Amino acid sequence: MATADPSLSRQHLDEPGPTAAPAAGEGVPWWERNLAWLLVSPTILLLVVFSLIPTVMLVRFAFSNVKLQRGGFGVDPTGFDNFVRAFGDPLVRDAVGITLKWVAVVTTAEVLLGLALALLLAGGVRGRGVFTSLLIIPIIMPPVAVSVAWLFMYEPNFGVFNYLLNQAGLPSVRWLSDKSIALYSMMAVDVWQATPFVFLLLYAAILSLPRDPYEAAAIDGAGRWHVFRTVTLPLLGPVLLVVVLLRLIDAARAFDKIFVMTRGGPGTSAYTMTVTIYNEAFAKFDFGYASAISFLFQIVMVIVGTVYVRRALADYSAPAE
């Protein structure tokens, strides 16, 4: 029991073991002896109720033709039919590509912009307190409110963007209705909202970096880029990983903005996985098929996530004294 998992070696309060009493020996009440288990049990209970049970139901649906019938869901097992259909469905194939594109572009843009901003401000800028306060606005704004604000700025006939373009002598752009532009227009909204979040995390991290390595680098006469690469980036590494992880997760789940702004349009050109699943489930009411796609999506997320979470966890819990 006490054999050490190196990644958790920092905890020394747990000696001599989780189920034993700390010092007092016999006479310690049971809840004190099992405190750790008691503390994690609500989390486990909620995980079972809100994750395990729904997942089991989801899997059952995925292998069935689910009919809405009197008294509830009618579930006829159909084996792998739904999965076979999913692999041949151009909508699903497109959705995979669109989702990947969304996740890649949005995460890259947000992390790069957020990092650049953080470095910029950490370098000393007047009024940065005000600036960080202002940047909180997008983060905490309800995505629905953000979407409606942008929706009307993008509006082709009365919107402010086209007005400004026209004023500058440029032709109008069909921001949300041209299939080669709309997805990027919506990505811009996400970047607008989430970059400040990335910025705040990285900015705080940069401010709390130790000074010594920088002083050493300054003595060596290292250039700015060199310092960034050899000192800042490695020190920021763990934080960056966490930030990227958080953004990846949220980007893959993107729904609100696309749903409010174009409902996945024009046509189906912004049907991400989530929009596709929503549509199969709540427009076509094909819960079996929707569950199958959801299940596949979940598997991919878990595989990608496992690699990533393990990495992040390892970094997270590694000793850093």
Which residues does 309 contact at the CB level (< 8 Å), separation at least 6?
245
- 3-state DSSP call for residue 73? strand
Nearest approach, Cβ of residue 97 and another protein (Å): 13
- Residue 206's contacts (CB-CB under 8 Å, 6 or more residues apart) are 118, 119, 122, 232, 236
- The answer to whether residue 75 forms part of the interface with another protein (CB under 8 A) is no
Tokens describing residue 226: 């060199």
Using rule CB under 8 A, residue 87 touches another protein: no
Pair 258, 264: CB distance under 8 Å: yes
Query: Which residue's CB is nearer to another protein, number 86 or number 290?
Result: 290
Q: Does 58 bind another protein (CB under 8 A)?
A: yes
Instruction: Compose the 253-292 pattern: x for residues touching another protein by CB under 8 A, - for all others.
Output: x-xx--xx-xxxxxxxx---xx--xxx-xxxxxxx--xx-
Site for another protein in 126-155 (CB under 8 A): 126, 128, 131-146, 148-150, 152-153, 155
Q: Within 21-50, which residues bind another protein (CB under 8 A)? A: 22-24, 28, 31-32, 35-40, 42-44, 46-47, 50
* Minimum gap (Å) between residue 233 Cβ and another protein: 15
Q: Which two tokens stand for residue 194?
A: 């989430």
In sequence order, the β-bridge partners of residue 68 are: 73
CA proximity to 151, closest of 260, 17, 287, 286: 260
How far is residue 266's CA from residue 275's CA, in Å, rounded to a whole number?
13
CB of 70: closest distance to another protein in angstroms? 6
Nearer to another protein, 78 or 108 (CB): 78
18 binds another protein (CB under 8 A): yes
196 touches another protein by CB under 8 A: yes
Q: C-beta of 134: minimal distance to another protein in Å?
A: 6
Asked whether position 14 contacts another protein by CB under 8 A, the answer is yes
309 binds another protein per the rule CB under 8 A: yes
**Residue 253 near residue 274 (C-beta atoms within 8 A):** yes
- Cβ contacts of 241 within 8 Å, gap of 6 or more: 311, 312, 315
CA distance 184 to 270: 10
Contact with another protein (CB under 8 A): which of 84, 104, 112, 313? 313
With H, G, I as helix, E, B as strand and everything else as coil, classify residue 71.
coil
Interface characters, 151-180, with another protein (x: CB under 8 A): -xx-xxxxxx--x--xx----x-x-xxxx-
Which CB, 134 or 216, lies closer to another protein? Answer: 134
